[in-house]
């Protein structure tokens, strides 16, 4: 639920939330600390922020929550160096802060568990699990992002999809540039749509449940790319209700898609990390 208001008076934000949006002081204090309130389009971090009459306020009064307390974040660590940490991100948790929740995400929880700063370099969807790289320094964040830009990062995924997938090799689609979900893709080029490329490396069909296990190498990294492309092929990922998958999740977002391995080259050093099957 999102509430909007133009401040009716000068003052600090908390009493104005009470008078203008009927948000009680305790809940308002918590929302401020949680990162669920915006003042003139800037996230508020304190209930003492000064507000002027006519200022714009946006309040996410019921922030989306994620099950971070149920996870042993230290046990998620695959590798750690002085410059970065690689984790196995659990499903059901975002990579980074969301618009209404600063703290319940993989980057922040890893930072707390290891008592070190973490910086996001790439992301996995909330419902996707697997290998995730977090930089410990701004320098490493910049170096990894440069490696991404220059094609020196390779990611593979393991997906379980509906039906008997027969196709292997390079798969090409074009994705609409939009913030809306589900993402729309086309098999043929569309003006201003982004090219999406992945490679299906291997497929194993399981007749017991009519599903296929698919090894995928991601070539371009669009939002929801694998999910949208597999659905367009007629083989949506199991559990992916956004794209027509079977057996949707119950309380925690989970689809049968894992980031299986990550290989990258930074400063002439090559690194490789993967999940244990």
Question: Are the CB atoms for 33 and 83 separated by under 8 Å?
Answer: no
Question: Are residues 245 and 173 located together in one domain of the fold?
Answer: yes
β-partners of residue 237 are: 161
Predicted pLDDT of residue 251: 66
Question: Are residues 166 and 246 located together in one domain of the fold?
Answer: yes
Rounded percentage of the chain residues whose pLDDT exceeds 70 = 97
Predicted pLDDT of residue 60: 97
- The enclosing domain of 6 has a CATH number of 3.10.290.10
Angstrom distances, CA of residue 258 to CA of 3, 30, 53, 182, 232: 36, 34, 49, 19, 19
Question: Are residues 125 and 168 located together in one domain of the fold?
Answer: no
Q: Residue 237 — very low, low, confident or very high, per pLDDT cuts 50/70/90?
A: very high
Q: What is the pLDDT of residues 203-227, one digit of tens each?
A: 999 999 999 999 999 999 999 999 9
- Give kind and range of the element (H or E) at residue 200: strand 194-206
Q: What is the pLDDT of residues 132-175, one digit of tens each?
A: 999 999 999 999 999 999 999 999 999 999 999 999 999 999 99
How large is the angle between the packed helices 25-34 and 13-21, nearest 10 degrees?
120
Mean pLDDT value of segment 224-244 = 96
Phi and psi for 251 in degrees, rounded to 5? -105, -30
Place of tokens 């970065």: 84
Q: Is the residue at 231 inside a domain?
A: yes
Question: Are residues 194 and 183 located together in one domain of the fold?
Answer: yes
CA separation for the pair 74, 85 (Å, rounded): 11
Q: How many domains does the chain have?
A: 3
Question: Are residues 159 and 254 located together in one domain of the fold?
Answer: yes
Q: Is the residue at 265 inside a domain?
A: no
Question: Are residues 160 and 240 located together in one domain of the fold?
Answer: yes
State the catalytic residues: 125
Rounded to the nearest integer, the mean pLDDT of the chain is 95
Q: Is the residue at 267 inside a domain?
A: no
- Give kind and range of the element (H or E) at residue 225: helix 225-232
- Give kind and range of the element (H or E) at residue 89: strand 84-89
Rounded percentage of the chain residues whose pLDDT exceeds 90 = 93
Q: Is the residue at 273 inside a domain?
A: no
Question: Are residues 80 and 48 located together in one domain of the fold?
Answer: no
Mean pLDDT value of segment 250-274 = 92
Q: What is the pLDDT of residues 64-121, one digit of tens each?
A: 999 999 999 999 999 999 999 999 999 999 999 999 999 999 999 999 999 999 999 9
Question: Are residues 114 and 160 located together in one domain of the fold?
Answer: no
Q: Is the residue at 208 inside a domain?
A: yes
- Give kind and range of the element (H or E) at residue 213: strand 211-218
Question: Are residues 82 and 175 located together in one domain of the fold?
Answer: no
Question: Are residues 175 and 247 located together in one domain of the fold?
Answer: yes
- The enclosing domain of 193 has a CATH number of 3.30.2350.10
Q: Which domain holds residue 29?
A: 2-60
């Amino acid at each position: 639920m999102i509430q909007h208001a133009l401040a009716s008076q000068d003052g600090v934000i908390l009493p104005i939330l009470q008078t203008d949006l009927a948000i009680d002081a305790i809940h308002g204090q918590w929302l401020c600390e949680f990162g669920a309130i915006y003042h003139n389009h800037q996230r508020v971090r304190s209930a003492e922020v000064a507000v002027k009459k006519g200022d714009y306020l946006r309040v996410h009064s019921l922030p989306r929550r994620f099950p971070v307390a149920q996870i042993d974040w230290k046990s998620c660590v695959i590798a750690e160096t002085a410059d970065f940490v690689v984790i196995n991100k659990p499903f059901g948790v975002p990579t980074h802060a969301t618009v209404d929740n600063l703290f319940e995400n993989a980057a922040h929880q890893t930072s707390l568990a290891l008592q070190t700063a973490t910086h996001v370099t790439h992301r996995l969807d909330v419902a996707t699990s697997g290998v995730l790289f977090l930089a410990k320094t701004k320098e490493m964040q910049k170096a990894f992002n440069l490696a991404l830009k220059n094609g020196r990062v390779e990611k593979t995924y393991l997906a379980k999809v509906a039906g008997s997938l027969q196709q292997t090799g390079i798969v090409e689609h074009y994705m609409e540039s939009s913030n809306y979900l589900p993402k729309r893709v086309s098999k043929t080029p569309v003006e201003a749509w982004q090219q999406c490329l992945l490679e299906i490396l291997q497929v194993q069909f399981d007749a017991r449940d009519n599903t296929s296990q698919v090894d995928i190498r991601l070539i371009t990294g669009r939002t929801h790319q694998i999910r949208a492309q597999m659905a367009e092929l007629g083989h949506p990922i199991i559990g992916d209700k956004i794209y027509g998958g079977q057996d949707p999740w119950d309380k925690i977002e989970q689809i049968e898609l894992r980031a299986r391995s990550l290989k990258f080259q930074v400063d002439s050093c090559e690194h490789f990390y993967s999940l244990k099957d």
